[in-house]
Amino acid sequence: MNSVHTNSIKNIHKLSIAPMMDCTDKHFRMIMRKISSEALLYTEMIVAQSLVYTNTKEKLLDFNNEEHPISIQFGGDNPQILKEAARMAQDWGYDEINFNVGCPSPRVCSGNFGASLMRDPKKVAKCIESLKNSCSLPVTIKHRIGVDDDDSFRYLNNFVRDIANAGADRFTVHARKAILKGLNPKQNRTIPPLKYDIVKKLKKLNPELLIEINGGFHNIDESVKALSDFDGVMIGRSVYKYPLRWSEIDQKVYGINTKPKSASDIIFSLIPYIEKHLNNGGKSWDICKHLINLVESIPKAKVWRNQISTKSIKKELDIEYLLKLTSRLEEMGY
């Protein structure tokens, strides 16, 4: 169980790293925390029912103290189960709870949560009320601008007003609608057009609400510009694929006078963490599958990634070998 921090909604997180399935596990979050001390980190989406009824609660809830501030994202549609999940999240030391009403996965939507739940504002409001009444943590929501034919601005605005009245502290709005019939989750991240103007209008009509924009941001400068219109910016696939391109988050977004870290700086700083993971029976690939994304756009980057990947997958990578390869990066100025 982790110590409770107060780095919450009251401090308005200007930039956050989106919850992404099979990506934002605790190892990737540790890498990101080395890149930015300030950005809000998210867990992968956790199905509330699975958490409440599983025997592996610790595995689902576990995170490192260094990860604060961190938000746990829940999926579900049962207020009673969400109530229990919220209590667990608070007891475990999370800083916030986020409710997912934006995931377009058929598997998720078949369980009547994710983006499909956006069609039922009353149920979403009951879920938010249940989360709020069960803990003292900020409760936020992530959603789309619409779902299938329910995509008018009036529908979106009414949805947000209903959820605000239920107590939601912040709205993270993916500026695309979800198309549940005919598009898979990957296509839903690219094919429905981005409509930032819709989210701008939403913020303008609801200035008292904290509204964060999500979708299509590829660099820090774009994010900083968006902060003139929104209370926060959430970054997804770009930061996962190219984490080092975001090395100036603290300087450009939060105004902290600190030197950006190189790939070798980050890897060297993670050595004790990786060593502890291996000593506890963990696999090197658990961490290295994320670590390899740090090295790109430099001479022989592909060779370096292949060496790390091959050794990790074959379970042959040890700390000495990792230090050797990282030293080569350092010698090259990376």
DSSP state of 193: P
CATH of 263-331, one of 2.60.40, 1.20.120, 1.10.1200, 3.30.70: 1.20.120
Q: What is the dihedral of CA 270, 271, 274, 280, to 10 degrees?
A: -130
Burial of residue 204 (CB within 10 Å: 0-12, 13-18, 19+) is exposed
CB atoms within 10 A of CB 109: 18
Per the DSSP assignment, residues forming a β-bridge with 42 are 71
**pLDDT band at residue 110 under the 50/70/90 scheme:** low
Nearest residue to 232 via CA among 244, 257, 249 = 249
**pLDDT band at residue 104 under the 50/70/90 scheme:** confident
Task: Quick: pLDDT tens for 302-325.
Answer: 999 999 999 999 999 999 999 999
What's the average model confidence in pLDDT over 161-168? Answer: 97
Read off the pTM.
0.94
For residue 173, pLDDT over 80 is answered with yes
Distance in angstroms (rounded) separating the CA atoms of residues 244 and 249: 10
Nearest residue to 270 via CA among 65, 34, 25 = 34
Report the chain's terminal Cα–Cα distance, integer Å.
36
H-assigned helices in 18-78? 26-35, 48-53, 57-61
Write the single-letter amino acid at 119.
Answer: R
For residue 119, pLDDT over 80 is answered with yes
**Mean of pLDDT over the chain:** 92
pLDDT on residue 1: 54
For residue 238, pLDDT over 50 is answered with yes
pLDDT on residue 182: 83
What's the average model confidence in pLDDT over 176-183? Answer: 89
Task: Quick: pLDDT tens for 200-216.
Answer: 999 999 999 999 999 99
Distance in angstroms (rounded) separating the CA atoms of residues 141 and 280: 35
Q: Say if CB 162 and CB 121 are below 8 A apart.
A: yes
Nearest residue to 27 via CA among 332, 270, 312, 322 = 270
What's the average model confidence in pLDDT over 128-134? Answer: 97
Q: Say if CB 239 and CB 7 are below 8 A apart.
A: no
For residue 5, pLDDT over 70 is answered with no
Question: Which of 3-7, 19-23, 185-189, 261-265 is predicted least confidently?
Answer: 3-7
Per the DSSP assignment, residues forming a β-bridge with 188 are none
Distance in angstroms (rounded) separating the CA atoms of residues 328 and 334: 9
Q: Say if CB 269 and CB 34 are below 8 A apart.
A: yes
Task: Quick: pLDDT tens for 266-286.
Answer: 999 999 999 999 999 999 999
**pLDDT band at residue 57 under the 50/70/90 scheme:** confident
Q: Say if CB 15 and CB 251 are below 8 A apart.
A: no
For the chain, percent of residues with pLDDT exceeding 90? 83
For residue 114, pLDDT over 90 is answered with no
Which is catalytic among the residues 103, 109, 127, 288? 103
127 given a catalytic annotation: no
CATH 1.20.120 region(s) of the chain? 263-331
**pLDDT band at residue 111 under the 50/70/90 scheme:** low
As its CATH architecture, domain 9-252 has Alpha-Beta Barrel (3.20)
Instruction: Kindly provide the residue ranges of all beta strands, DSSP E only, lying in the chain, ordered along the sequence.
Output: 15-17, 40-47, 70-75, 96-101, 139-144, 170-174, 211-214, 232-235
Q: Say if CB 67 and CB 24 are below 8 A apart.
A: no
CATH 3.20.20.70 region(s) of the chain? 9-252
Nearest residue to 156 via CA among 168, 172, 170, 145 = 145
